Amino acid sequence: MEGAAVSVFVKGTKPTASPDVTADMAQKNKAFAPTLRVVQTGTSVSFPNFDTVRHHVYSFSPVKPFEIKLYAGTPAAPVIFDKPGTATLGCNIHDRMLGYIHVVDTPYFGVTDAAGKVTLDLPAGEHRVRVWTPTMGETSPGVEQGLKTGQDVVIRLDKP
């Protein structure tokens, strides 16, 4: 299964990243790497191309429609993801390329590993955790529940 985006909302923290926060969504072997990248709202994302072929990356998603026309190397201008939600990425040249940038209003986030686990370093207290996976679809906000730091939180996504 693909990784799940896990974000934790902590009262009193800034929803938006400072302007110098950056992230990468690479292309390697004609695939997005990673398939799913989680960023805080306001993050500048670069799209470095490590392949010897050119890519043409786009998103039609309402949270961030954009297009980077046929390019090699790293495009000069990063794309700023300024609204929370999910952008689905594709490539005009390689139809099978599919990736996601999941944008969250919190600095606390991660992606689950192959075992479905993620560990986050949180301020002590009670917070809200939200989980989103690509299978939910880009318009889904994900599922949310409470959590208390220091305890394992189990979220089952296979419930009806």
What residues line the site for Cu ion (CB under 5 A)? Answer: 55, 91, 93-94
In this complex, which beta carbon is closest to Cu ion, that of residue 55 or of residue 102?
A: 55
Q: Which residue is nearest to Cu ion (CB)?
A: 91
For residue 24, what are the CA distances in angstroms to 21, 36, 43, 80, 94?
11, 11, 10, 11, 19
Radius of gyration of the chain (CA): 16
Q: How far is the CB of 70 from Cu ion (least distance, A)?
A: 9
Are 85 and 103 within 8 A, CB to CB? yes
Are 113 and 87 within 8 A, CB to CB? no
In this complex, which beta carbon is closest to Cu ion, that of residue 91 or of residue 129?
A: 91
Q: How far is the CB of 67 from Cu ion (least distance, A)?
A: 13
The two three-digit tokens of residue 123, written as one number: 């301020």
Are 9 and 127 within 8 A, CB to CB? yes
In this complex, which beta carbon is closest to Cu ion, that of residue 29 or of residue 151?
A: 29
Cα–Cα distance for residue pair 39/160, rounded to 1 Å: 28
Q: How far is the CB of 95 from Cu ion (least distance, A)?
A: 9
Q: How far is the CB of 117 from Cu ion (least distance, A)?
A: 31
In this complex, which beta carbon is closest to Cu ion, that of residue 92 or of residue 149?
A: 92
